Amino acid sequence: MSLVKQLWLAIVMVMALAFGISLVVSVLSARHYMEQQLQVKNIDNATALALALTQLDKDPITVELQVSAQFDAGHYRFIRIVSPGGATIVERVSDTELQGAPQWFADLIPIKAQPGQAFIQDGWRQFGTVSLASHEQFVYQSLWEGTLNLLFWFVVGGALTGVLGTFAIRVITRPLGAVVGQAQAIAERRFLTVEEPRTPELRAVTQAMNAMVGRLKTMFAEESARLEKLRRKVNRDPVTGLANRDYFMSQLREVLSGELHGSVGSLVIVRLAYLNDLNAAFGHQRADQLLRELADVLFHSGDQHPGQRAGRVKGGEFAVICPTYPSPSEAARDIYARICQHWLPHWEKEFPDLFHLAAVGYERNQSVGDLMSRADVTLATAQAKGPNAWHAEEIPANKLSMPAEQWRTLLTGAVTGGQLSLAFYPVVRENGVKPLHQEGMIRLQMDAAGELLTAGDFMPMAANLNLTAPIDLGVVKLAVEHLRQGAGDVAVNLSAETISDFRFRNQLLQLLQAYPGLCQRLLFEVPEYGVFRQFDAFRDLTRSLKTLGCRVGIEYFGQRFAESDKLASLGLDYIKVHPAYVRGISQNPGNQEFLKGLCAMAHALGITVIALGVESPDDLPLLAQLGFDGATGPGVR
């Protein structure tokens, strides 16, 4: 029972007890008083009647007339004249029924007034000449009316007390509600501070909880900073701050084999022509400055292109993955223009022959070695063109190169025509045997031949056309239908563009409210870049989904780890760590240390940690040692 209900129950019990006692005392006191008054009246009337009869003739007719006159005028229950020998001379008895009060009330509160007797002082059985008793119905009527009045005021007082109590409780429990909300937030792994109330007792509790939350946030921030520093040390080039070779190649393998991005894209290589000569001409400090400025241009080239990543492959060679550019020529022109605008003018006068740029296209599941070999050939062609030149390997247009309106028709028809489906991949526990849940990956049937496109092939275009919301809603409907027909839990992805759509959110919640029994088996996850791009919207959506019993997580976690201190306020259920940290984990001690710390920090918040992109079952024991709770990827079946 809640504290508010207990307070109400206490108020009701106290009020009922107080007014109940008041009712009993009042009725009994009134009854005692009226009994006394009735008895005095009986004695006075008996004395007066006896005195009057004493002064009259004692013939039977006169006595009877006097008794009848007294009886008719005085509302008596009986008047009796008894001879000294005990014989009744005159007797009048009322046959009037009780009026003005219910019979059960008279039975519950009997009136016991002694009859009045003339010349006899010791009760009605003592013989005298006159014995009479007034009728009690007027007493019962007065008591009944008084009881009803008291009950009426009891009800009025109770209602008034209830209204005032409600207002008082709301005022008193307003800070208590904030404390309760803070406690609930902590239980949901959200660490929030609340304003301290004026009530001293509640203020002490709030101060203690705020202090605890502050310490947890501080510990989390300190651990996040330590792990971010370790991550940069392990995966970043110390001079430029870009991804180092191992980390970049891991990202490239993920792009070539994963489904987050499209099946085609471009790889751009920028090579400084004569790095040794640059070091000799500028000195190491200025040469490092030149490298950092170039790295900054390459890094920011992906600001408006999700998934575009830059890295330093080796000494004077940089690479940029461009998953949003199916055409290598477009990718090359964009990056070349940025270099010529923001970097080349600062150094060209001192060293005219600075760089060459090459761009090649890639397809999903292409080998990294083949791609880099083609890039080397294309780069040689660019070098042959002369200083600061670029060249792109032209490829024939792929089947996904369609006008925007044709994409709109295809995607709109897919939502309404049942061309969307889900492909399910297992997510297993750390032992690699027991299932954790299934991840439902969206597929689009492009044509009658039945060819299926992955999310990376069509969702970027759907985002450009503002069609992600109906597609995501269709995915949730497919997941719900799958849950209705089978056992286990299912996780589905929501697009970054969708989570800020209030109309979609309302439709999603209405859909889920129709299936309350399935919500606990349904998981929602959003890519990390979408979470931090729409952080407030994601936080609100998370709270709404968790209220219904759903679980919420972040996918491809770890690319923006520096901002992970914000996660303490979300109450996440799980995170799926980016494959770039997981691939080749057995040969990367630095990433092992980073992931071990990440798992420990997540577990302190009650967050389940899942590894993405596991390539071999042999990696599962090591991942379990590092603290991972589950895994998924091509090596998991």
Whether 325 shows a pLDDT value over 80: the answer reads yes
| Higher per-residue confidence, 464 vs 124 | 464
- CA 276, distance to chain mean position in Å, is 58
For the stretch 489-516, pLDDT in tens is 999 999 888 888 889 999 999 999 999 9
Q: Where are the domains of the chain?
A: 3-148, 264-392, 404-631
| pLDDT, tens digit (0-9, with 9 covering 90-100), for 404-450 | 788 888 888 888 888 888 889 999 987 767 888 999 998 888 776 66
Q: How confident is the model at residue 563 (pLDDT cuts 50, 70, 90)?
A: low
pLDDT of res. 266: 92
Instruction: Please give the CATH topology (third level) of the domain spanning 264-392.
Output: Alpha-Beta Plaits (3.30.70)
In contact, 262 and 305? CB cutoff 8 Å: no
Which helix or strand (DSSP H or E) is residue 152 part of?
Answer: helix 137-187
- pLDDT at residue 84 above 70? no
- Closest by CA to 482, choosing from 415, 420, 552, 429, is 420
Q: Which of 34-43, 51-60, 238-247 has the lowest mean pLDDT?
A: 51-60
- Global pTM exceeds 0.75: no
The mean-pLDDT minimum among 38-52, 174-188, 330-344, 612-626 falls in 174-188
Lowest mean pLDDT among 12-16, 253-257, 294-298, 311-315: 12-16
Calculate what percentage of the chain has a pLDDT beyond 70: 89
Report how far residue 510's alpha carbon sits from residue 520's, in angstroms, rounded to the nearest whole number: 16
CA distance 477 to 575: 23
Give 177-210 pLDDT, tens digit per residue: 777 777 777 666 667 777 777 777 777 877 887 8
- What is residue 508's predicted lDDT score, i.e. its pLDDT? 92
Give me the pLDDT at residue 577, please: 92
Q: Please give the radius of gyration of the chain, using alpha carbons only, rounded to the nearest integer.
A: 46
The region of weakest confidence among 120-129, 234-243, 334-343, 357-366 is 120-129
How far apart (Å, rounded) are the C-alpha atoms in residues 471 and 492?
Answer: 12
Q: What is the pLDDT of residue 115?
A: 80
For residue 218, pLDDT beyond 70: yes
Residue 129 above 70 pLDDT? no
CATH code of domain 404-631:
3.20.20.450
The per-residue pLDDT for 127 is: 42
Q: Return the higher-pLDDT residue of 69 and 490.
A: 490
Alpha carbon distance 271, 383 (integer Å)? 10
Q: How far is CA 320 from CA 77, 242, 339, in A?
A: 114, 10, 13
Once rounded to an integer, what is the mean pLDDT over residues 551-574?
80
Residue 68 and residue 53: Cα distance in Å, rounded? 12
Q: What's the CATH number for 3-148?
A: 3.30.110.200
Burial level of 580, CB count in 10 A (0-12/13-18/19+)? buried
Comparison of pLDDT for 86 and 416, the residue scoring more: 416
Instruction: Among 275-284, 524-533, 604-613, name the one with the lowest average pLDDT.
Output: 275-284
Residue 395 pLDDT more than 90? no
Residue 628 has pLDDT above 80, yes or no: yes
Q: Does 121 have pLDDT greater than 60? A: no
Higher pLDDT, 480 or 209: 480
**pLDDT tens digit sequence for 236-287:** 999 999 999 999 998 898 888 877 777 888 999 999 878 888 888 888 888 8
From its phi and psi, is residue 606 left (phi > 0), alpha (psi between -120 and 50) or beta? left
Helix (H, G, I), strand (E, B) or coil at 435: strand
484-495 residues labelled b (16+ CB within 10 A) or e (exposed): eeeeebbbbbbb
Between CA 180 and CA 16 the distance in angstroms is 30
